[in-house]
Structure formats: C-alpha cells, structure tokens
Amino acid sequence: MANLKVRITFPEDKIKEPIIYNAGKNYKVVTNIRRADVTEKTGWVDLELVGEVEEIENAIAGMKDAGVKVDPIERNIIE
C-alpha cells in the first residue's frame, strides 16, 4: 500500500460537491482528511490517500476532472 498527502482547493462552484466521497467510492483508495478550512464560498482540504499507486493516481485525476485543484503536500508516493 502507498500513501500520498495532497491539498485539494475547491472553487466556489464546487464547494458543495462530494469530491472526496466520490474519490473513495470510485477508486480503491482510503481517504483521510488531515486538516480543512471550508466556508460557503471556498475551501481547502489536506487529504491523505492510501491505496495502490495506480489507484491513487486515478483518484487524483478524477478529482481534477471534477474541477478541483490538487497539489501534493509530500512530493512522492510512499509505499
């Protein structure tokens, strides 16, 4: 199993979307919220993703496709 920490930044039009839930549901990853600051207009979440490397990469691509910004907190996926 690998893990990667990322910061997800939500624009106003995506703040109510279940982006993190969908990542866990649609990909074989465990999502663990480490820190967050969410208001009605914007928000960010520090998220740990745990799973196989390919599934983590697919989950990140899926979140980006859903319209949020995803930046690594730790540069490498740790296995």
Residue-wise pLDDT tens digits, 36-67: 999 999 999 999 999 999 999 999 999 999 99
**pTM summary value:** 0.90
Question: Over the Cα atoms of the chain, what is R_g?
Answer: 12
Q: Which domains does the chain have, with CATH numbers?
A: 2-72 (3.30.70.260)
> Interior CA angle at 75 toward 72 and 77, to 5°?
95
Say what the pLDDT of residue 76 is. Answer: 60
